[in-house]
Structure 1
Amino acid sequence: MKKSIVPQDFQHYYDDWHFSPVIESDGTVYLSGVTAARKDKPISTDPEEQFHDAFYKLGVYLAAADLTYDDILEMTTFHIDLRQHIETFSRVKDQYIQAPYPAWSAIGVSEFIPQNSLVEMRIVAKRC
């Protein structure tokens, strides 16, 4: 059985795009791609600020499922200009994700739907 979890600030994703920001099945939680896109703030063109905004949004998604960053089992991150921004991204990531670290794959891509977005994160988490 699966359960859709939609943080109130992101209900428009479910309504307009027809996907669940968070879905739980058998105690495992899957998060749809998380970018820095929000209704209340444009995506920053500063990579460091944008990465903090993406992790803020990730925290909102996790909290909606009664989870924290510590519950992340696997992270797949997709990056525009991966080589140019990976050090900054890693530095920001380490402010949110602590040891024991989740499995992580970083992949370079060419574009995302939200304009100016540099990263999108796919997350698998479980209450540990």
Structure 2
Amino acid sequence: MPQRDIIFPAGRTALYEKHAYSAAIRSGDLLFVSGQVGSREDGSPEPDFGDQVRRAFDNLKATLAAAGCTLDDLIDVTTFHTDPERQFETVLAVKDENFPAPPFPNWTAVGVTWLAGFDFEIKVVARIPDAG
């Protein structure tokens, strides 16, 4: 069984410490990233929805970078939305900012009723690039 290494982005531990989980786990050449939300450094939600989605992507990119990855390394994306019908246009606009051209990652969007005070969450699996 491959060793599991815990990954944390610099300066972003408040939410992880509060809820006792890891930002990401590296296992072999795969990175399993916990759901990233639009939290500020203190763990509180970004109040504006569009800014919350952008911050969630920024938090995701920081977690990926801590493991030597970028958005180009994504294999699987799952997003969670508290009000998909009203929010989807904003989410798609931010998605287009982060993935402006093919190849696009596969993507599953799920409507949920609760995200611990947040309205958007993004969870991914990435392949860690070969260091050699």
Structure 2 CA distance for aligned equivalents of residues 5 and 78 of structure 1:
22
Query: Given the superposition, is the C-alpha separation of residues 22 and 107 from structure 1 closer, same or farther in structure 2, using an over 3 Å criterion?
Result: same
Alignment partner of 2:11: what SS? helix
Please name the residue that 1:51 is paired with: 53
TM-superposed deviation, 1:42:
4.8
Query: 2:54 is aligned with what amino acid?
Result: H
Structure 2 CA distance for aligned equivalents of residues 86 and 17 of structure 1:
28
- State, as a whole percentage, how many aligned pairs show the same letter: 33
Alignment partner of 1:43: what SS? coil
Structure 1 CA distance for aligned equivalents of residues 10 and 32 of structure 2:
17
Query: Given the superposition, is the C-alpha separation of residues 44 and 14 from structure 1 closer, same or farther in structure 2, using an over 3 Å criterion?
Result: closer
Gap runs ≥5 in structure 1? none
TM-score by length of 2: 0.86
Gap runs ≥5 in structure 2? none
Query: Given the superposition, is the C-alpha separation of residues 118 and 14 from structure 1 closer, same or farther in structure 2, using an over 3 Å criterion?
Result: closer
Residue 63 (structure 1) aligned with residue 65 (structure 2): yes
Structure 2 CA distance for aligned equivalents of residues 127 and 20 of structure 1:
17
TM-superposed deviation, 1:14:
4.5
1:61-100 to 2 correspondence within 5 Å?
A: 61-97=63-99, 98-100=101-103
Please name the residue that 1:123 is paired with: 124
Number of aligned positions between the proteins:
126
Structure 2 CA distance for aligned equivalents of residues 55 and 16 of structure 1:
21
Structure 2 CA distance for aligned equivalents of residues 15 and 43 of structure 1:
16
Alignment partner of 1:63: what SS? helix
Residue 112 (structure 1) aligned with residue 115 (structure 2): yes
